[in-house]
A and B are shown apart, each in its own frame.
Chain A
Amino acid sequence: MADMIVLLRQVPDLVEELELNDDSTDVEREFMKFVLSEWDDYALEEALLVKEASQGSVTVVALDDPDVDQVLYTALAKGADKAVKLTGSEEGWIDSHQRARTIASWMRNQTYDLVLTGVQSVEDIDGQVGMLLAQELQHPHVSVVVSVETKNGSARVTQEFGGGRFSELDVQLPAVLGIQQSRQAPRYAPISRVRQAQQAGGLEEVPTEVSGGSGLTVRRLYAPESTDHAEMLEGSADEVADKIIELLRSRGLIK
């Protein structure tokens, strides 16, 4: 039994070609298509799995990102119990600090056991939102979580490390988890269910007012500059090994 809050955010759809704005400080957002951050989709799926296993509730919350209503209704169609949209934030890119603070300001009035969010997003590859939120609310935090199980006021989570290693941790609740992967692929929400949810309405809009972010400003956004192309070494394993040794020798890295 756990009441869960899942943070959702919209990110640019990387299927589209990204264009920069005139002063190269942000992507051109006006004509951009936005989709739910992949990792947030995992966080929602994991929360729904926890709810199925041990009851409880799932509340999804998002800032007023572009096309976010659709995503919130889709979450309701998948089985979330409540959807909240925090309005009042500025348009354009919202940095992790501001995002975490805005959500925290709303969460202080909520009761919950677990907060799940994507471990990172394509716009926040250092995965700060979860950590910052935990800091704001003074909750324990675990990142890179691939499985969640709740029992008697604590959660057992599996954290993934590089090289195929895992650790299993018990976390005191309430806690904030950064989800890397859900136990199963995010479920499909049939369009007719999403439309039903849309028709039923029930999206709670909460005005929030938060100022101050990380204090950083973006000076320049740019596409990675391509350097020399890679050279593919071909042949059998032994031949390739010989070529590598020769290369390293020729550059004076080994003798």
Chain B
Amino acid sequence: MSVFAAGPGPIDEIQTREVFANFGFFELALFYLLTAVAIGLFAYGAFRRIRKYARGRRAGRLTMPFRRTVVRTAEIGANATIGHRYPMVGVAHFLIFWGFIVLFIGTVILTIDHDIVRIAFGEEASFFKGTFYIVYSVILDTWGVAFLAGLAYMGLRRGLSRPRNLDYKRAEEPPEGYSRAQFVRGDWLFLGLLAFIAVTGYLEEGARIVASDFPDFEIWSPVGWLVGRGFEAIGVDAAGPGETWRHVLWWVHSLAALGFVAYIPFSKAMHMLTDFGNLLFFDEGSSRRLSPPVEAPDHAGYQSLEDFTWKELLDLDACTKCGRCHVVCPANAAGAPLSPRDLILDLRQWADQSTSTVSILDREHRVEPTGPLTVNGDGTKLAGDVIKQSTLWSCTTCMACVEACPVGIEHVPTIIQLRRSLVDEGSMEQSLVDALSNIASQGNSFGKSSRMRARWTKSLDFTIPDARKEPVKYLWFVGDFASFDERLQEQSRTLARLLHRSGVSFGILYEGEWNAGNDVRRVGEEGLFELLVEHNREALEAARFEEIFTTDPHSLNTLKNEYPDFGASYPVKHYTELLRDLIKSGEIKVRPLGRKVTYHDPCYLARYNNITRAPRLILEAMACHVKEMPRNKQGTFCCGAGGGRIWMDDSGLVERPSENRIREAMELGVDYFVVSCPKDLTMYSDAAKTTGNEDKLTVIDVVGLVAEAMDAPEPAMASEAGDVG
């Protein structure tokens, strides 16, 4: 007996199934009517959403067509971003994703055969039979199992193992109370609906196989076959109620599926569409190179829906509440009132409320109309009422949220646009006002005279060339902290001595250098940032050099990625990259130190600019054994000082991010905590003290180790020294 032999004959004898078996005219009409209603609701919901995005500003995201379409589509198809750091979730989502697509395509094929081919070319033109039907059946039946397996994993994970990222407790909790119970029910409805559709599909299939009395070829729908045998066992068979059950189950399955179609644009299910778009138009560089503020005569920061770009509005609908940003956020970990997830969800609810968007089980409830429930008008503010000032000021702009987000949401630029509103109206804490005022008048946040900028060089026994007066190979952009902070000046002198000793041609700009403005821009003070760029651009134009190197990763970021927009385009590297090159070329000779170290990646070096190898190569060159912290490289954890936080009060935090980090390092049993950012040296030296680990863990800059390695004794003795150290 060959199951592949599809002989000619009436329709009930060949290998296929009838779509509307035993349907009267009324029933058929009802089905098509309901289908039309479902598709109509879907189209309406989708239209409402698209119309909302169309209200947004231009986003400039139609560049790189190949990368965006072909490469990104492949990444999306592979669910690559979802599996990043969460491999099991990636696999489960892959099964659901492709299971859904395969089953959807299955329905589309059926529709094409039944409602187009057969109507246009007659019954005999149907291709939904024979070999095609068998292959179709086996593929759909298998992917249905994969689909259910994926859903089962997700359901168990959500229901039983309850990972921290799926806990919807807010970071900033309104005192009058709130409820996010709808979120939870919405999640279960989504998972449940999908599972219900799949299960009823199998039941209907089983009942059909029972009702048609197990024709041989239906063994190619193995799950349906087994379900049919199950039915048979409980007395539902072809002779008995088999056909009635099939008929009823057909409707149950179809109604659920049609209901789901209508439900998509109003619920969590919309992420199937919004996230495809959001990932296609994602720009991984939007945080390192910020967009200018809105060009409006009366305001500088975001105030209304129209200020957002369409991509930023799409971001809001893209969020699936997976909470990966929530758990990596240093502000949230420190007990600050910021969670990137809450920020996006609050903005979404506010945007939906402003546009009267209907949503199913996606609303936070509050006793008072505060936060995301704030009603527009009456002087209510987006930055201040909808999103609290304290929330916006808590961000360190470390970009961990953007890096962790599997669906391409760009939180940091949105936060900065909202901060620009606060700066525009002068709503910020006094220490920040002081820092900005100092920078505006003297070019540094320390309130010191700009003429004192190079005073740290006085105690060197050589003079660092002024790059504005004599040509040099490298222009050292020293930065505020390395120039003015007394603890860090010694580091700067160490680096200067080390370069001088190695015969490297380098110079500085003396009082011509001002704060580079990276953090000023991230605070939201765009006008001051522009002023600083103009000032530094003039100084750089007056100097003669081949390349810039910076001490500060923050300075590096803006000089490298943002200054070119303002007409100052130079090759920029970090001092760790310079040291790596000098060690490689033999210009700097280091001896083995053999220390047990861990290395902390600064956010602006690793996450923003992908510089992770250079500092590790230097450490390896000195035979230091680098033991990695769990959060390393692009997944590094912020020290808490970025984005202008260093100028703000951090006394309200439960645990400073830097202390959290030191505790992470203490688990490794290393002796040295190596940093490559001046702010890190102060942040972590303090944290080592406050956590009581000052005697066990030495916080040291890469430069400090290189200087030691240059003076270290011969290798044979060095290993002994290493053991002691």
**Interface 1/0 per residue, A164-207 and B, CB below 8 Å:** 00000000000000000000010111111111000000000000
In-complex Cβ contact of A16 among B423, B433, B449 (8 A): B449
Q: Within the assembled complex, what's the spacing in Å between the Cα atoms of A191 and B440?
A: 8
How close is B171's CB to chain A, nearest CB, in angstroms? Answer: 27
**Cβ of A35 under 8 Å from chain B:** yes
Cβ of B300 under 8 Å from chain A: yes
CB contacts under 8 Å to A, within B190-232, are none
Q: Does B424 contact A (CB under 8 A)?
A: yes
When chains A and B are docked, how far (Å) is the Cα of A187 from the Cα of B437? 10
Option from A33, A185, A187, A191 in Cβ contact (under 8 Å) with B528: A191
| A190 engages B531 (CB within 8 Å) | no
Q: Is the CB of B441 within 8 A of A13?
A: yes
What string of 1s and 0s marks CB contacts (under 8 Å) between B434-465 and chain A? 00110011100001110100000000000000
Give residues 9-50 of A contacting B (CB, 8 Å).
13, 15-17, 33, 35
Determine chain A's interface SS by DSSP, over half rule. loop
Q: Which residues from A are CB-within-8-Å of B436? A: 188
Which of A15, A33, A185 has the largest number of chain B CB atoms within 10 A? A15
| Distance between A13 CB and nearest chain B CB, rounded to angstroms | 7
Say whether A191 contacts B527, CB under 8 Å: yes
Given contacts A16-B451, A189-B426, contact A194 B527 (CB under 8 A): yes
CB-CB < 8 A to A35: which residues of B?
441
Report chain B residues within 8 Å CB of A190.
Answer: 300, 423-424, 426, 525, 527-528
Is A188 in contact with B423, judged by CB distance below 8 angstroms? yes
Q: Across the interface, do A188 and B447 meet the contact criterion of CB distance under 8 Å? A: no
Task: State which of A15, A17, A187, A193 has its C-beta within 8 Å of the C-beta of B527.
Answer: A193
When the two chains form their complex, are residues B527 and A195 in contact, meaning their CB atoms are under 8 A apart? Answer: yes
10 other A-B residue contacts (CB within 8 Å) besides A16-B449, A193-B424: A13-B441, A15-B442, A15-B447, A15-B448, A187-B426, A187-B433, A188-B436, A190-B423, A192-B527, A195-B527
Q: How far is the CB of B298 from chain A (nearest CB, A)?
A: 10
Chain B residue with Cβ nearest A192: B527
* A13 cross-chain contacts in B, Cβ below 8 A: 441, 449
**CB-CB nearest in chain A for B438:** A15
A100 to chain B, nearest CB (A): 28
| Min C-beta distance of A15 to chain B, whole Å | 5
Residues of A within 8 A of B526 (CB): 192
Complex-state Cα separation, A13 to B443, whole angstroms: 14
Chain B contacts for A191, CB-based, 8 A: 440, 525, 527-528, 530-531
| A17 near B449: Cβ-Cβ < 8 Å | yes
Query: Cβ of A195: which chain B residues have Cβ within 8 Å of it?
Result: 527
Residues of chain A within 8 A (CB-CB) of B270 are none
Is the CB–CB distance between B430 and A185 below 8 Å?
yes
What are the 8 closest A-B residue pairs judged by CB atoms, nearest first? A191-B527, A192-B527, A191-B528, A187-B426, A188-B426, A188-B433, A16-B449, A15-B449
Instruction: Give the distance to chain A from B445, nearest Cβ to Cβ, in Å.
Output: 13
CA distance A78 to B657 in the complex (A): 36
**A194 cross-chain contacts in B, Cβ below 8 A:** 527
Q: A15-B442, A17-B449 are in contact. Are A188 and B437 (CB under 8 A)?
A: yes
Contact between chains at B428 and A188 (CB < 8 Å) = yes
B519-538: CB near A (< 8 Å → 1, else 0) gives 00000011110110000000
Q: How far is the CA of A187 from the CA of B430 in the complex (A)?
A: 9
12 chain-A/chain-B pairs, Cβ below 8 angstroms? A15-B447, A17-B449, A33-B449, A35-B441, A185-B430, A187-B433, A188-B426, A188-B428, A189-B426, A191-B440, A191-B528, A194-B527
Contact mask for chain A residues 212-254; partner B; CB cutoff 8 A; 1 contact, 0 none: 0000000000000000000000000000000000000000000
CA distance A15 to B447 in the complex (A): 7
B403-448 at interface with A (beta carbon < 8 Å) = 423-424, 426, 428, 430, 433, 436-437, 440-442, 447-448
A192 touches B433 (CB 8 A): no
| A15 / chain B contacts, CB cutoff of 8 Å | 442, 447-449
Give Cα A16–Cα B426 distance, bound, in whole angstroms: 27
Residue of chain B at shortest CB distance from A74: B440
CA distance A194 to B437 in the complex (A): 13
**Which residues of A have CB within 8 Å of B437?**
188
Query: For the complex, what is the distance from the CA of A173 to the CA of B442, rounded to whole Å?
Result: 40
Separation of A201 and B424 alpha carbons in the complex (Å): 20
A33 to B449: give the CA distance in the assembly, Å. Answer: 9
What separation, in Å, do the CA atoms of A192 and B292 have in the docked complex?
12
Contact partners of A17 in chain B: CB under 8 A: 449
Chain B residues near A188 (CB-CB < 8 A)? 423, 426, 428, 433, 436-437
Enumerate chain A residues within 8 angstroms of B430, measured Cβ to Cβ. 185
Given A191-B527, A192-B300, A193-B424; A185-B442 close (CB under 8 Å): no
B424 to chain A, nearest CB (A): 6
Distance of B379 from chain A, by nearest CB (Å) = 13
Least CB distance from B447 to A in Å reads: 6
A205 to chain B, nearest CB (A): 24
In the complex the two chains form, what is the Cα distance from A16 to B449 in whole Å?
5
Q: Which residues of B contact A16 (CB under 8 A)?
A: 449, 451
Instruction: State A13–B426 Cα separation when bound (angstroms).
Output: 24
A188–B430 Cα distance when bound, in Å, is 9
In the bound complex, CA of A124 to CA of B280 (Å): 65
8 A Cβ contacts from B294-313 to A = 300
Interchain CA distance A28-B163 in the complex, whole Å: 67
Nearest residue (CB) in A for B424 is: A190
**Nearest opposing residue in chain A for B432, CB measure:** A188
- Report how far A192 CA is from B436 CA in the complex, Å: 13
A194, B525: Cα distance in complex, Å: 12
- Report the Cα distance A190→B300, complex, angstroms: 10
B514-573 interface with A by 8 A CB criterion: 525-528, 530-531
For B447, the chain A residues whose CB sits under 8 A away are 15
A17 and B527 alpha carbons, distance in the complex (Å): 29
Could you say which residues of chain A place their CB within 8 Å of the CB of B433? Answer: 185, 187-188
- Give A17 to B448 CA distance when docked, in angstroms: 10
Closest CB in chain B relative to A191 CB, distance in Å: 3
Contacts of B531 in A (CB 8 A): 191
Interchain nearest-CB distance for A41 vs B (Å)? 10
Q: Give the docked Cα–Cα distance between A187 and B527 (Å).
A: 16
In the bound complex, CA of A117 to CA of B441 (Å): 22
Chain B residues in 8 Å Cβ range of A187: 426, 433
Q: B235: shortest Cβ distance to chain A, in Å?
A: 79
- Taking the nearest CB of chain B, how far is it from the CB of A118, in angstroms? 17
> B119: shortest Cβ distance to chain A, in Å?
64
Bitwise, A68-83 to B at CB < 8 A (1) or not (0) is: 0000000000100000
Which residues in B have their C-beta under 8 angstroms from that of A185?
A: 430, 433
Bound: A121/B448 CA distance, A: 20
A188 to B431, CA, bound (A): 11
Q: How far is the CB of A40 from chain B (nearest CB, A)?
A: 15
In the docked arrangement, what's the CA distance between A78 and B526, Å?
A: 17
Question: When chains A and B are docked, how far (Å) is the Cα of A191 from the Cα of B300?
Answer: 11
- Which residues of chain A have C-beta atoms less than 8 A from B424's C-beta? 190, 192-193
A13 to B424, CA, bound (A): 26
A51 to B118, CA, bound (A): 79
Q: How far is the CA of A8 from the CA of B441 in the complex (A)?
A: 17
For the complex, what is the distance from the CA of A10 to the CA of B474, rounded to whole Å? 40
Q: Smallest CB-CB separation from A185: which chain B residue?
A: B430
Cα(A190)–Cα(B439), bound, Å: 12
**Chain B residues positioned under 8 Å from A189 (CB to CB):** 426
Contacts of B300 in A (CB 8 A): 190, 192
- Chain B nearest CB, measured from A124 CB (Å): 21
**Please, what's the 1-or-0 string for B240-258, where 1 marks a CB less than 8 Å from any CB in chain A?**
0000000000000000000
Give A191 to B517 CA distance when docked, in angstroms.
13
Q: How far is the CA of A17 from the CA of B449 in the complex (A)?
A: 8
The residue of chain A having its C-beta at the shortest distance from the C-beta of B448 within the complex is: A15
* Chain A: minimal CB distance from B418 (Å): 15
Bound-complex Cα distance A201 to B131 (A): 82
Give the docked Cα–Cα distance between A189 and B528 (Å): 10
Cβ of B528: which chain A residues have Cβ within 8 Å of it? Answer: 190-191
A35 CA to B527 CA, complexed, in Å: 19
CA–CA, A192 and B525, complex, Å: 8
Chain A residue, CB-CB nearest to B446: A15
| Minimum C-beta distance from B453 to chain A (A) | 12
